[in-house]
Every structure is written in C-alpha cells, then in structure tokens.
C-alpha cells in the first residue's frame, strides 16, 4: 500500500560567525538533494526502470518461506526466514536459523508445511545454509551482484519479524563492514528476531544479501551477508542428510541424559545449553553417565555465561530427579544450593558469596570436593565456600542451568581416585595479599563505609594501588604459566617425533599443536571421539576383509554424511589448523582434513594410506594391495584424483612441473612440520612477525638441524628486539657453517651487537 508522508529536513546550523551565503546555500541545496535521493523521494536516473515497492513485494512474497525449528518435544523453539533459490527445492537461509541437532519445518507462502530432506550446503564462518525440500516447480528468486553495491542504494527486505510472516521493510545500504573474516553489508534498516535469513532486494527484484544480525546499539542498524558469498557454496555443496544433521551436535546419549527440557548440545569436550527449562526458575539438568561410588570425589568444569544475570554450573548428590546440590554463579554471586524437591519451597541456599576470583563475562573454572561431612567449592583455583551440609549423600553428578540462560561448559571431569584429586595451587604471596579482601568480600553484603571500617587506614588511593599491583602480578603469572605450557608442548612434540615412524602417534601430535595455543584443550576427549567415529563406521556391517568397501564407507561417512569440507571462505583462520576444531566444525585445511582421514583409516585397519605433500596442496594417497593407486582430496569433499590431475593442480603453485606419481609419501614428522609451517605463515600474515616465533620454536625443537629455520628465527628475533635470542641463533649457524648461508653477513650482525 502506498503511503503519503511529509518529510521535515533540518538544515545544519551555521558555525559561529558564519552567514548563509549564496555559496553555502547552494551547498545545502546539494546536500538536501542527495538526502532526498537516499531516502527514495528523488530517484537518480537509470537506464533500467525500477519496480515500485508494491509490484516488487507481490513478485517476491511467494518465494519467501518461514523456517520454524523445534525442541526435542516438538515445541516451537524459534523462527527465521528463507527464500527459494532453485526450482527443485533449494532454500537459502542463515546457518544460525536452522542450527544443529534441531528438527525444523518450512512453511511456504500457501501455508503448506514441509520437512527438509537434507542440508544441501552450509558454511559456519559466513553463517550460510541451503536446505533442500522434496519439492519441484518452485519459483526461485534471481540472485544479483552484491559486489556492485554502493552506499546509499535503496533496498527492500522481507522477513518474519517477531513471527509476523512476510513483513516488508524499506531501507538503505549504509556501508560495508568486516566481522570475523567475513564481509557484511551494513543496512539502515530495522531487523528483529525472525528476520534472519530473509532476502534483501534491490528495486529490480534481485537478491543482494541475507539478513543476518541487528545492532544492539540502535534499532535501525543491521547487517546482511552478501549474496555473492552464497554462490561459491552452491558450486561446492557439502550435503548432509537431515537424519544425520539432527545427530550432529546432539548430546552423546552414552555419556549424558537430560531432564526438564531446554536445548542441550555438544561438540566432543564442550556442551552448550539454551532455552528455558521446565523446572521452577527455568531449571534444567544434564546428568553424567558415571556416578561416584565412594566419598570423597571431585568434580570440575569450565563455565561461561551468556548473561551474568543467568545461572549455570555443577550439580552433585543427585537422585536423578529433583533432589541435588548445585554450585554455580548467579546474579554476580557464587551460590551453593541444596534442592530437596521440585518447588521453590524446596530450595535451600546454603551459602552465597561474592568473590574477586570470579571473572564476569569470561570462562571460569568451577570445582567441588564432596566429602562425608564437608563440601568445598572452588573458583579458578581459590576456595570460596566451605560447607558442612550433609543433607544429601552420594548420587549422580552433572550440569544444571536456570532461568533463560545461555551457557557453555567445557572440560567436565569427575575424579574418584586419590591420585586424580589435586588441591588447587594458589601462590602463597598472592594468598596473603588477598586474605583480608577475601574475608571481606565473602562476608555479608554491607555498605562501603562498613568495608572501609574493616580496612582501617586504607585510603582509596592505597586500595587502587593494591588492585593494580595484584592485576600486574596476575598478568606476570599468567604469562609465565603460558610460557611454561608452551615449553612443555615443545618437549612433548620433540619426544613424539624422535620415535620410529610406526610408533609416532600422529593424532596426538596434531592435537598437541592445537593445545600449544589453547592450554585447556582436552586431548584425550578428541582421541576418544575419533575412536568412536571408527566404531560407527565399522558398525555398518561392512565386511572387514573387503578393504575397498571399507574405504568407500569411510569416505561416505566423512564427506557425504557428515559434510567435512575445506574452508574456502576463511582459509587462513588458524582454527583450520587445529585438529580439534576440524572435528568440531567439520571444516579445515587440506592437511588437517587429511590427517583425520589417515587416522581413521589406521583405526579401521586400512593399509596403504599416506599423505602426498603436493606443492601448495596436500592429498591422501591410497595404494591398496589390489587395485589402482588413487589420490583423495579431503579438502574437496573426498574427490578422487589421478596423478595427472594432481600434477596439473601443482602447476597453480609453482612453475616447475611436479611428478606426483614418483613423489615419496609424507612422513609423520613431515606432516607435523607442514602443519606448523602453515600456522607460522598465517600468524605472520594476519598478526605480526613476533606471532610467528612460537611456531618456529616448535619446528626447531622437532628439526633442530635445519639451518634455514634457524636463520629465519634469528632474523625475526632481531627485527622484534629479541637480541639475545638472535645472538644465540647466529652463533649456532657460525658453529655449524651450513652450506648456502652467508656466514660473512652473520659475523657482521654479531659484531653489530
């Protein structure tokens, strides 16, 4: 419907001392014309005639769909938007609209409801997804060219804001921004929940982008994913059947069981929850399959709240129903609670404290020690609650969340043996410095005046100085701890690489590389996850003697059923080099995807599988005892290649021809060094020279006689002010005098010191 509106324009005020001269008034007139053109009152001349909003809306509405996703009980848990891009049932939307491990239905313009049969293509970085319906003869929307967009262009968006289906809104392209390696279109347009995944059109009816997110600062600022980011994804679909998609990210029922609703999901060592539970206060429980049999035992987990007004943490002493203990953050405090039943009247707060050790908005380590007549509660290694309550005995353990909290958990562990139960280590001097503050903050809430009376003689300046001194000391200790951790990883990798080739644990070595950058990584959990993959592949009834069938089953499992694929949109992201992230996100570099394929083949007993270190690309070489040798491109969905095709591919990266047929397989040491070389390169390109040094340290620890690595490290050390380290590397080179190194230049550098 057309609307008549009056436009009031307030001209900019003159600066002090200025008058509105004819020239200035001409400038204001030009400004006004541009403004009117921007809001659509004046249209710039164009060779193509734009459609009016009514005609455009009528044309596109039938191709816009509503996507509803459900919880495990079949109740609606959210709504988003999508649109038809292919007559044979392809629907484009945002990945966060469909989520993982969630059933969904698509509601067409005529009201008909359909279940997707597969997720045809998806990309986590770009937040894009394409789902397929078992339909044909649909009317797709034409895709435009988002690269040709200019700020100021008028656009129209269609979506389902707050569940109001196929609502239309006008707006402008106001710019372009980059978030997490993805380029986004900035829109002067209101976006509400339910709009996500909806199309953004120009006045010719071409789709330019997909509505993605809104600004939290203003209601009329939003962002859209450019439509050109979707086009390469359609050319390389990483399809996953809907039955498999519903299991991806779902809790492992052999390890966990949930109660009282909410949406729990997992990725190996990490669990996430969202939505409100059905218990009082939005309570929802997630029980671990193992139960302690004796006291004492210890329980720990890392927790990050999406909102500090929420609550999520550990439960223990549970009867599997409504009775249990809980230790968790809640409204900026730490709380130990005993739940004796299902109602609010059964809720007993045993202790509630504030603690300087809790870090709001960040990951926090929670730990409890449950003894016969004592419960000790720790946060980030510090004892914060000591309770003598014994109302509940031994029982089940696990996780809980309350209210409408979105929370993440990682590193859940149950310790039942004496050797696995360790007291948190707290620096003695730090403990002494914090002692009086700890007692103060753990006491009853009171006024600032009362706090100051408890600290006689302490001026605000003195307290501020103490806070800064503690913060500085904490930073020093964190830095030392991280340095010690990286040194430990270097020693572990070196020890692994000196073993005979057949004894080297490639999986563990690749996970050690990831743990080098993220100390909290639970390597054992990911080793077990890969073991479970192999068990699942073998459980399909494939005869183990038929190795060819087993290999086909392995490739189908990875690339057709689980959608493992190369990271085309975000290649240089370091996470593509971390094997745990590749397992979680099913996306990575050629070499990390190849490592997963090689390791699964080894667990399945498939022989003749090795890495082929092609220049610029990494392939898997499969040489069965009977049959032709083939090459597998794990980066391109397990595509089977010939040696001739591999040689052609290598020409993209170097001018000299490659004879891949005569190339030696990559040793496990070669693979680890190449993974580290990738991380070194990405760090240097995306961060700084100094960021590349830790990876050079690892490479030299593994291959200490490589003079080129030593020279590169010496050069970077010198350029980043690490003179003593550079001097050490230069001296190493002079002592060994390797060929191809300008020793005279090195002597000059040492003399310059």
User: How distant, in Å, are the alpha carbons of 81, 207, 221 from that of 84?
Assistant: 11, 11, 26
Does 166 score more than 80 pLDDT?
no
Does 469 score more than 50 pLDDT?
yes
CATH fold for domain 53-243 = Thrombin, subunit H (2.40.10)
CB neighbours of residue 474 within 10 Å? 12
Where residue 577 falls among pLDDT bands split at 50, 70, 90? Answer: very high
Lowest model confidence (mean pLDDT) among 143-152, 415-424, 661-670, 705-714: 415-424
Structural tokens at position 736: 């060994």
Does 375 score more than 60 pLDDT?
yes
Q: Which residue shows structure tokens 């976006």?
A: 191
Alpha-carbon span 601 to 578, nearest angstrom: 20
pLDDT score of 438:
56
DSSP 8-state secondary structure symbol assigned to residue 33? H
What residue ranges of the chain are covered by domains with CATH 2.60.120.560? 256-420
Does 15 score more than 50 pLDDT?
no
**Interval 49-98: pLDDT, tens:** 555 666 776 777 788 999 987 654 555 667 889 999 999 999 999 998 88
Lowest model confidence (mean pLDDT) among 384-388, 568-572, 710-714: 568-572
Residue range 175-202: mean pLDDT, rounded: 77
Where residue 228 falls among pLDDT bands split at 50, 70, 90? Answer: very high
What residue ranges of the chain are covered by domains with CATH 3.10.620? 491-671
Residue 546 CA neighbour count, 13 Å, CB half: 9
Does 391 score more than 90 pLDDT?
yes
| Domain 491-671 -> CATH class | alpha beta
Does 545 score more than 80 pLDDT?
no
**Interval 285-335: pLDDT, tens:** 999 999 999 999 999 999 999 888 889 999 999 999 999 999 999 988 999
Does 22 score more than 80 pLDDT?
no
Does 26 score more than 80 pLDDT?
no
pLDDT score of 190:
66
Range ranked top by mean pLDDT from 516-520, 540-544, 649-653 = 516-520
Residue range 262-283: mean pLDDT, rounded: 89
Residue range 256-263: mean pLDDT, rounded: 90
Where residue 441 falls among pLDDT bands split at 50, 70, 90? Answer: low
Alpha-carbon span 584 to 438, nearest angstrom: 39
Q: Number of helices (H) and strands (E) in the chain: give both, helices first.
A: 19, 34
Locate the DSSP E strands across 137-254.
Answer: 154-159, 167-179, 182-188, 199-201, 207-214, 222-226, 240-241
pLDDT score of 181:
56
**Interval 118-157: pLDDT, tens:** 999 998 888 899 999 999 889 899 999 999 888 888 888 8
Q: Bridge partners of 349?
A: 337
pLDDT score of 423:
53
pLDDT score of 50:
59
Domain 256-420 has CATH 2.60.120.560: yes
pLDDT score of 4:
35
Task: State the Rg of the chain over Cα.
Answer: 30
Alpha-carbon span 328 to 282, nearest angstrom: 14
pLDDT score of 33:
39
CB–CB of 345/428 below 8 Å? no
Does 631 score more than 80 pLDDT?
yes
Does 253 score more than 50 pLDDT?
yes
pLDDT score of 77:
65
Does 436 score more than 70 pLDDT?
no
Residue 61, classed as helix, strand or coil, is: helix
Angle, alpha carbons 94-97-100 (nearest 5°): 105
pLDDT score of 337:
97
Does 13 score more than 60 pLDDT?
no
pLDDT score of 14:
36
Q: Which residues contact 56 (CB under 8 A, 6 or more apart)?
A: 156, 201, 203, 205
Q: Which residues contact 627 (CB under 8 A, 6 or more apart)?
A: 548
Long-range contacts of 335-339 (CB under 8 A, 24+ apart): 335/311, 336/375, 336/377, 336/385, 336/387, 336/389, 338/389, 338/391, 338/392, 339/283
pLDDT score of 471:
77
Alpha-carbon span 611 to 403, nearest angstrom: 50
Where residue 552 falls among pLDDT bands split at 50, 70, 90? Answer: very high
Where residue 464 falls among pLDDT bands split at 50, 70, 90? Answer: confident
Lowest model confidence (mean pLDDT) among 159-163, 682-686, 748-752: 159-163
Could you give the percent of the chain with pLDDT greater than 90?
A: 50
Lowest model confidence (mean pLDDT) among 11-25, 502-516, 736-750: 11-25
Burial class (CB in 10 A: 0-12, 13-18, 19+), 398: buried
pLDDT score of 742:
86
Alpha-carbon span 449 to 500, nearest angstrom: 68
Where residue 27 falls among pLDDT bands split at 50, 70, 90? Answer: very low
Does 23 score more than 50 pLDDT?
no
Does 29 score more than 50 pLDDT?
no
Does 530 score more than 90 pLDDT?
yes
Mean pLDDT for the chain overall: 83
Where residue 176 falls among pLDDT bands split at 50, 70, 90? Answer: confident
Residue range 429-447: mean pLDDT, rounded: 54
Residue range 612-635: mean pLDDT, rounded: 93
**Which stretch of DSSP H or E encloses residue 67?**
strand 64-70
What residue ranges of the chain are covered by domains with CATH 2.40.10.120? 53-243
């Amino acid at each position: 419907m057309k609307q008549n509106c009056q436009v009031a324009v307030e001209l900019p005020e003159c600066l002090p001392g200025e008058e509105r001269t004819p020239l200035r008034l001409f400038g204001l007139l030009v400004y006004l014309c541009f403004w009117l053109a921007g809001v659509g009152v004046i249209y710039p001349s164009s060779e193509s005639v734009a459609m009016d909003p009514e005609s455009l809306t009528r044309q596109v509405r039938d191709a816009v769909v509503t996507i509803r996703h459900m919880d495990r009980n079949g109740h609606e848990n959210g709504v988003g938007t999508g649109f038809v891009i292919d007559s044979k049932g392809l629907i484009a939307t945002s990945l966060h609209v469909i989520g993982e491990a969630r059933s969904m239905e698509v509601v067409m313009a005529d009201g008909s409801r359909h279940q997707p049969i597969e997720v045809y293509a998806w990309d986590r970085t770009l937040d894009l997804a394409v789902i397929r319906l078992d339909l044909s003869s649909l009317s797709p929307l034409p895709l435009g060219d988002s690269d040709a967009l200019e700020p100021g262009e008028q656009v129209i968006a269609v979506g389902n804001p707050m569940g109001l289906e196929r609502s239309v809104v006008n707006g402008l392209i106001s710019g372009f921004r980059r978030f997490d390696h993805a380029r986004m279109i900035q829109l002067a347009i209101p976006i509400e929940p339910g709009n996500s995944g909806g199309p953004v059109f120009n006045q010719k009816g071409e789709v330019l982008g997909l509505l993605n997110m809104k600004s939290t600062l203003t209601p009329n600022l939003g962002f859209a994913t450019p439509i050109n980011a979707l086009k390469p994804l359609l050319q390389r679909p990483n399809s996953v059947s809907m039955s498999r998609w519903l299991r991806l990210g779902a809790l492992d029922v052999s390890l966990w069981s949930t109660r009282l609703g909410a949406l729990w999901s997992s990725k190996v060592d990490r669990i996430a929850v969202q939505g409100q539970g059905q218990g009082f206060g939005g309570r929802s429980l997630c029980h671990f399959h193992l139960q302690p049999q004796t006291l004492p035992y210890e329980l720990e987990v890392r927790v990050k709240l999406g909102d500090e007004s929420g609550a999520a943490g550990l439960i223990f002493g549970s009867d599997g129903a409504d009775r249990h203990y809980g230790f968790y953050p809640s409204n900026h405090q730490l709380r130990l609670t005993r739940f004796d039943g299902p109602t609010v009247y059964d809720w007993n707060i045993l202790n509630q404290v504030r603690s300087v050790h809790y870090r709001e908005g960040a990951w926090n380590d929670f730990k409890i020690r449950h003894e016969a007549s004592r419960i000790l509660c720790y946060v980030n290694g510090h004892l914060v609650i000591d309770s003598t309550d014994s109302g509940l005995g031994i029982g089940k353990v696990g996780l809980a969340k309350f209210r409408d909290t979105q929370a993440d958990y990682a590193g859940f562990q149950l310790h039942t043996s004496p050797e696995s139960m360790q007291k948190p280590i707290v620096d003695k001097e730090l403990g002494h410095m914090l002692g009086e503050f700890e007692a103060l903050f753990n006491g009853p809430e009171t006024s600032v005046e009362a706090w100051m009376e408890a600290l006689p003689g302490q001026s605000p300046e003195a307290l501020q100085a103490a806070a800064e001194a503690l913060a500085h000391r904490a930073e020093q200790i964190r830095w030392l701890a991280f340095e010690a951790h990286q040194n430990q990883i270097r020693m572990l990798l070196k020890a692994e690489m000196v073993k005979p080739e057949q004894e080297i644990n490639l999986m563990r070595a690749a996970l050690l590389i990831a743990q080098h950058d993220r100390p909290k990584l639970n390597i054992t959990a990911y080793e077990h996850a890969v073991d479970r993959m192999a068990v699942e592949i073998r459980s399909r009834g494939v005869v183990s003697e038929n190795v060819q069938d087993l290999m086909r089953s392995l490739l189908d499992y990875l690339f057709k059923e689980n959608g493992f694929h190369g990271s085309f949109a975000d290649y240089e992201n370091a996470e593509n080099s971390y094997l745990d992230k590749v397992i979680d996100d099913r996306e990575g570099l050629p070499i990390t995807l190849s490592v997963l394929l090689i390791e699964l083949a080894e667990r399945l007993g498939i022989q003749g599988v090795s890495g082929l270190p092609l220049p610029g690309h990494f392939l898997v070489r499969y040489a069965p005892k009977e049959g032709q040798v083939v090459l597998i491109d794990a980066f391109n969905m397990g595509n089977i290649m010939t040696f001739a095709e591999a040689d052609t591919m290598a020409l993209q990266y170097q001018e000299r021809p490659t004879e891949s047929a005569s190339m030696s397989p990559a040793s496990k040491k070669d693979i680890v060094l190449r993974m580290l070389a990738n991380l070194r390169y990405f760090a240097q390109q995306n961060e700084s020279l100094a960021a590349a040094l830790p990876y050079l340290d690892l490479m030299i620890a593994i291959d200490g006689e490589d003079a080129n690595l030593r020279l590169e490290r010496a050069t970077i050390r010198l350029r980043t002010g690490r003179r003593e380290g550079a001097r050490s590397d230069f001296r190493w080179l002079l002592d060994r005098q390797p060929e191809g190194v300008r020793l005279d230049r090195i002597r000059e550098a040492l003399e310059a010191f």
